Amino acid sequence: MAGSSGNGGVTRNTLRQQIADALRDEVLAGRLPPGQAFTVKEIAEQYGVSATPVREALVDLSAQGLLEADQHRGFRVREYSVEDFRGLVAARALITDGMFRALGAGHHGFQDPTAPRTATALAGVRRRGEEAQRAARAGDLTVLIGYDLRFWRELSTLFGNPYLADILHRLRVQAWVCAVQRLRPLADLRGLLWAEHTELVDALRCREIERARTVVAAYNAHAVALIENPSER
């Protein structure tokens, strides 16, 4: 009986994560627009599952800042303001800048970029960056978001602090949710999206910290300007 209960818990937790991932992807794709409300029952019926993992998944997404509890409808997609976006960018900048400073000072965390294992990991991050760049230049927002989130997740993991990596990932997801709400209506995104991922990796691989900080600072300024006036870019 104990084993059966454990398996049930694992199954429920897996289902909970699958539902959370699916709904997050729906929000990032713009198929769940800001302000849209829904109930646990509606989502459970949509996915053909019980209410418990759905409720848990929605609570998780609320904690991550993608949804808000609505006393009349259950939950609704959070609508981010431009000011919210500025705050998210500023917060993630503090984290990345701290990581870069620690790397430059030789603090424990980011391994030697020339060490075989780290070099292999960086090569994988760079490949992710190449895919993100191709998607950005093509104006394919959906593909870009997927590769961009993986790029930053894998890159930040190399700094050796999983807590900072998790926080940065959450901030980046929230920033993309905000960006999607403003960029999806544009007919053509070619030439508008940041595509300097490999430049950042190359700077870090050479331990050129100021160069890396300059790349990220330019990225953040570009992102804020784009979200402030998307139709004028």
Query: How large is the average pLDDT for residues 76-83?
Result: 94
State the pLDDT at residue 114. 66
Per-residue pLDDT band at 132 (split at 50, 70, 90): very high
Query: How large is the average pLDDT for residues 159-168?
Result: 90
DSSP state of 32: S
Per-residue pLDDT band at 40 (split at 50, 70, 90): very high
C-alpha–C-alpha distance, residues 106 and 35, integer Å: 46
Q: What percent of the chain has pLDDT over 70?
A: 90
C-alpha–C-alpha distance, residues 148 and 28, integer Å: 13
26-33: long-range contacts (C-beta < 8 A, 24 or more apart)? 27/66, 27/77, 27/177, 27/180, 28/142, 28/145, 28/173, 28/176, 28/177, 28/180, 29/142, 29/180, 30/180, 30/181, 30/184, 32/77, 33/77, 33/181
Query: How large is the average pLDDT for residues 204-226?
Result: 94
Query: How large is the average pLDDT for residues 47-67?
Result: 93
Task: Report strand pairing: 67-70 vs 37-38.
Answer: unpaired
Q: Is the pLDDT of residue 230 over 90?
A: no
State the pLDDT at residue 206. 87
Per-residue pLDDT reduced to its tens digit, 83-127: 999 999 999 999 999 888 888 776 555 656 667 778 888 999 999
Q: What percent of the chain has pLDDT over 90?
A: 71
| Structural domain boundaries in the chain | 2-77, 82-232
Q: What is the residue-averaged pLDDT of the chain?
A: 88
For 97-115, give one letter per residue: b (16+ CB within 10 A) or e.
eebbebbeeeeeebbebee
State the pLDDT at residue 163. 92
State the pLDDT at residue 126. 96
Q: Is the pLDDT of residue 138 over 80?
A: yes
* Domain 82-232, CATH among 2.40.40.20, 1.20.120.530, 3.30.2000.20, 1.20.1260.10: 1.20.120.530
State the pLDDT at residue 73. 74
* Domain spanning 2-77, CATH architecture: Orthogonal Bundle (1.10)
DSSP state of 186: -
State the pLDDT at residue 5. 39
Q: Considering only 4-13, 54-63, 74-83, which range has the smallest mean pLDDT?
A: 4-13
State the pLDDT at residue 70. 79
Per-residue pLDDT band at 3 (split at 50, 70, 90): very low
Adjacent-strand bridge partners of 74: 70
